Structures are given as structure tokens and as C-alpha cells.
Chains A and B, each alone.
Chain A
Amino acid sequence: MTATTPPPAAGGRPAVGPRPPVPATAGGVGVGGAVLLVATRIGLWLVVQLGLAGLLLLAGAAAAGQALDEVAGWWLVYAGLVELGTLGVIGWLLRREGGSYRDLLGPPTAAWAVAVGALGVLAATLPAVVFSGELTSAVYGQGAIAPMFAIVDLPPWASVLSVVVVPLLAELAEPVAFLGVVLPRLEQRLGRPWLAATIVVAVWAAEHACFPLLASGGGLDWEFAAYRVGSVLPYLAIWTAAYYALGRRLLPIMAARWVFNCGSALALALGLVQ
């Protein structure tokens, strides 16, 4: 898979793009690897947050009903641990099944094409931004800030981490995991790309219910969890569609997401989101 231009499919019709290499074991260990990757991410989100909340409780630094919310204020930082864990599993899968990290990113793409593609992906993300904003207003009131941003409370050094390091780790791990590893394995297993893409978007969105965990009325804030899934769903659907539209090239999507996530973290760090 070194062609810059996707080869035409049968009948001279241009294909969406060459499917990334999936190991011969994709029907078995391949899908198992995808499940392991998703389970690791969800498990890490839960373990890190509940673990930190438990530590706060043990140290007496937070009351029982406040520990989760205290921890949630740091989610833009401890997200880095989840991304590192994801990269670890991706590396383990690559060693076990063969292939390289570069293969997961799709066909070679010139720097200018990555930049143009990223601009296109950013423009295509606008409807998701608008939808998410309207959903936030409907659930939390006109002009309200989304709770996952409103709750962020970091000292300067941690803000630097959340702007410089974590968004980079997130782009190296998250889209590569879902679009570069999980999606092709599901496509190969199911034989229907649209079904595989739908499942990936649904699971990817559902994962967002796990972070940050917020408390409400002595339990988890399920309304926020549902809102989080609903608000992120259009973003993930658009990015997955863009992955196909760009011939399974991940770099433009990673670049656009980095601009988006880094910009959000920077706006929070600078206090521009009030």
C-alpha cells in the first residue's frame, strides 16, 4: 500500500480508498484486538477517574459527593494517561500481528495535501459545532458552557500540559485506534463498510460518556453522560465520513482534530471560555 492515488475499482469506478492492511487473523485475533483496544480505553477512563477519586477520599481531600467532580476538573490532563495506554495497546497489536504505525495512517500524503485536507475537515466540522452548541443551550440553558469545559480547573503547569502534550497524544492515539485499527477490522469481519462505520461511531461516541464522570444527587450524572454522547456524535460521524472521503487518509483528520482540541484547551487555559 504505497499508492498515493487509490486504484480504480472494478468497472473503472474510483474506489473510496484502499483498505488499510488488516492482518490475516483479522477475523479472529483482529477483531479481538479491536475489542481489546476499545475495552482498554473505557477501562482506563474508569480506573483513572475512580482511582483518583478514591485517593482524594482516602486522603480526606474531598467529601464523598465531591470527589468525582474534583477529579473531573483535571480530565484534560489525565486523558494523557488513557492515550498513552491506547498507544501501548496499538504497539502491542502491531508487534503481535505485524505492520507499522505508519501503515495505520493510510496512503502517503504530501504535506500540502494534509494541510488542505485538514482545512476541509475543519470546515466540514462546522455543522457539528453548531449542533453541539444548540444541544448545550437546550439542556443547560442559553449561553451555558458545556459542563466538561465549565468544570476544568487547572493550575498553570497543568494547563500547559493540557494544551501542548495531551492534544498531541490524543491525535496519535484516538483516531488511529478507532479509524485505523478498529474500523478496518470490523469492515473485514462484517463485509459492510457502512455497518462497520456505524458501529465505530456509536462505540466511539459511547466512550465519551465515560469522561469526565460527574456526580449528581449522590450518583452519576446520567443526564450529562447522555448529553456528552449526543453532543459528540455529529463530530465523530463527520470525521469518520471524512476518513472515507479522503481515501482513508488519517493525517488530515488528525491535524484538524489537533487544531480543534488544542484550540479548545488553549481557550480554557487563557480563560477565554467564561
Chain B
Amino acid sequence: MHSRILYRLTWLALVLSLGHHLDHLIRGNAVGWPVTDEVNAFTASLIVYPIIITGLLLYHAGRVGPGFWALVSGGGAAFVAAVHFGPAAVEPPELILDHYDQPMLGWLAFGWLVVFVSVLAITCLYETRLWASQRQARHVAQPAPDAEAGR
């Protein structure tokens, strides 16, 4: 049983992620390998694309469910929030807001990031609820072992 909403949210997060990486490339002040020689948070964040593609294939094949996606979305939200919003953020908002010639572009990029993290967090909430309700439905569908034995 596949959730159309889960697919849509995953594609939305993918587009937002690509847009945010594009923002990194345009600013040029927080990029790493393969654009530069340095391996940093930018490099690590690129792992999300193979994870999403693999996840979509496995989800389509019924090998993973909403629990997997909740981990991906929640992990992504935590990673991006820690890198940009955390107390020890390596790329705080000023790194985005102050590095565009047009302040409006800086706010657009920062707003994009805020929407990106929000979508990841909300998607995680949705997937967690979906996962919990599917588990509950399975428990209801499966008769208790004691009841089976008592027959």
C-alpha cells in the first residue's frame, strides 16, 4: 500500500534540496567536494540523493515503508537544522543572507532553506503517523497467539 502523499512530499523535499544545493553553488562560500577539494558538510549532504533514489525504488517494491522515510526525513531535518540553525552551526543564516548582492535574493535563499527544513520536519511527522497507523492496523489484523492456541 503506497501513499500518494508520501511520494509527493518526497519529491517536494527533493526539489527543495536541489534548490538549496544550487544556492550553495551560487554563493560559493559553503561548498566542498566535488566543487572544491575540501570534504565538508556540503559533501556529506550529497549522500541524500542516492538515499532518496534507492528509497523510492525500495518503497515502490514494498521493501521499505513509512518508518524508513520518517528516519530519512527526520535525519535530513536534523542534519540541515544543525548545520544552519544550531548553536554550533557551521553555516549560520548570515552566511546566506549576507552573501548576495541583492538582499532580496539572500532572503529568498534563506526563506527557501526555512521552507526546506519545515517540509522535512512536517513530512517526518506525517510519515511517523502513517507508520504508527500501519503498525496498529497490522496488530488488529493479526490474531493474538494466545487466541490461536486456545482454539
Contacts and interface: CB of A to CB of B under 8 A. Distances in A.
B129 A246 contact: yes
Nearest to A123: B121
Contact of B3 (A14, A126, A131, A242): A14
Interface stretch (A1-9, A19-27, A160-168): A1-9
A127 interface: yes
B75 interface: no
A237 interface: yes
Q: Which of B81, B114, B124, B128 has the most C-beta atoms of chain A within 10 angstroms of its own C-beta? A: B114
B81 A246 contact: no
B137 interface: yes
A47 interface: no
Contact of A130 (B77, B114, B136): B114
B125 A242 contact: yes
Interface residues of B, number: 31
Contact of A238 (B122, B129, B132, B136): B122
Contacts of B133: 5-6, 14, 247
B85 A126 contact: yes
A138 B97 CA distance: 10
B98 to A, nearest CB: 11
B4 A13 contact: yes
B126 interface: yes
Given A126-B117, A238-B122, A245-B125, A13 B85 contact: no
Interface in B10-38: none
A124 B110 contact: no
A68 B121 CA distance: 39
Interface of B: 1-5, 77, 81, 84-85, 93, 97, 110-111, 113-115, 117-118, 121-126, 128-130, 132-133, 136-137
14 contacts: A5-B137, A13-B1, A13-B3, A120-B124, A126-B81, A126-B85, A126-B121, A127-B114, A127-B115, A127-B117, A127-B118, A127-B121, A131-B110, A138-B97
